[in-house]
Structure 1
Amino acid sequence: MDSVLEGGFADPVLDSQTAFRAIMDALANPGTLRKLPQTALTQGPLPGELASTLLTLSDQDTPVWLSPSLRSEAVSAFTAFHAGAPIVSEPGRAVFALVGSVDELPVLDQFNLGTQEYPDRSTTIVLAVPALSGGPDLIMRGPGIKDHGHFNPVGLPGDFVAQWAANRELFPRGIDLLLVADGQVMGLPRSTRISQGH
């Protein structure tokens, strides 16, 4: 229980503001890396980057979906104590989804894709990947990107480009994606077009 109580930010107000700015800046500038403040402790299977994002974005009004490896008493207790966010069992009911590894990531269209009237009600997925660089080269275009950009995270699904293209076609509906690793976050908003690099 002690780790649940101590596992939040060292300075809750400052750290959550810093993390919020990092996440918003990552989404405004797709493909760029932004540093996240670390929580005091990882929570069982919940890495620090996912814990930081959970503390920053969720509250009692934001249902959270946890991938199977994150569904533990420690993570549930941490979420309840620090965020008060309800945990849901279906991806389609989640405002935020925390995914511990890519092999636990459902197909993107299983999440809440929002509605034409309320596209902002779609799910934001926070996916822990092994690394944010060193993988296959991908090209991105769209708002917040001058001409085009390159990014190469490790561990995305093999059909990620195709899944993302289908997600992009739903705009203004569709999910947003945050990739986290090594204390950093990278944002991929639904407006971003992604293609294979060469």
Structure 2
Amino acid sequence: MSAQGLARGFADPARESQRAFKALMWAMARPGLPETFVSHLTPPAPLTPELAALALTLLDYETTVWLDAPLAQQTAVVEFLRFHTSARIVSAPQEAQFALISNASDLPDFTAFAQGEPDYPDRSTTLIVAVQRLAEAPFQIEGPGIKGHVGFGAEPLPADMSTRLAANRALFPLGLDLVLAAPGAILGLPRSVRLIEEA
């Protein structure tokens, strides 16, 4: 695919990536609380504008990224990411520093990804998951950055999401960090959060 046929990236890369990174940092610092995040990108489907903006912010030639099947099967998506980020796309999820998930209802089991190492817990995969919307709050979580506890929800999510979150927290300081990306907002779920109940 020629550069002329690629969807455009950031119009102002420095400013837009800085804005996206700031929103992401706030989302991770205040787990469970939606952070306003508006992307004006028009990437090839099924890559959403929010996933695309976070990818362009976080990925570079030194990073590895895994794509779920709906993304990996679209040549336009692969070429968009390669051109705009230079990141190395890997076929094995455990080799990825980041994973882009377009189909949240078919989210792979967390054990498929790198969990980090005792001496290097940061060597784990960060999952960036597109959801259709942030919904009512069936999950209640507590942990660093949360005053008391906070509720969150999103659609779609796997039916066993509560079990996954509990197992992920049990691995702390290992485990995965998650970012849920909905139209107009993102929500952070670092590995430090603890599920306290599910409605």
Q: TM-score range by the shorter chain?
A: over 0.9
- How far apart are 1:95 and its partner, in Å? 0.4
C-alpha change, 1:175 and 1:60, in structure 2 (3 Å) is same
Match of 2:94 in 1: 92
The one-letter amino acid paired with 2:131 is V
Runs of 4+ in 1 over 6 A off after TM superposition: none
Q: Deviations over 1:89-132 (max 9, x none)?
A: 11111100000012331101110001011111100001111211
Q: Does 1:187 align with 2:188?
A: yes
C-alpha change, 1:181 and 1:35, in structure 2 (3 Å) is same
Q: Does 1:83 align with 2:85?
A: yes
Which structure shows the bigger proportion of residues in strand conformation?
Answer: 2
> Any stretches of 5+ residues in structure 2 without a counterpart?
none
Aligned counterparts, 1:27-176, within 5 A: 27-71=28-72, 72-134=74-136, 137-176=138-177
Q: Does the 8 A contact of 1:167 with 1:174 survive in 2? A: yes
> Any stretches of 5+ residues in structure 1 without a counterpart?
none
C-alpha separation between the residues in 1 aligned to 2:189 and 2:55?
A: 17
The one-letter amino acid paired with 2:120 is Y
TM-score (structure 2 length as normaliser) = 0.93
C-alpha separation between the residues in 2 aligned to 1:38 and 1:28?
A: 21
Q: Deviations over 1:52-80 (max 9, x none)?
A: 01001111111100000001211111111
CA RMSD of aligned residues (A): 1.4
C-alpha separation between the residues in 2 aligned to 1:128 and 1:85?
A: 19
C-alpha change, 1:110 and 1:54, in structure 2 (3 Å) is same
Q: Does the 8 A contact of 1:20 with 1:56 survive in 2? A: yes
C-alpha separation between the residues in 1 aligned to 2:188 and 2:5?
A: 29
Q: Does the 8 A contact of 1:43 with 1:51 survive in 2? A: no
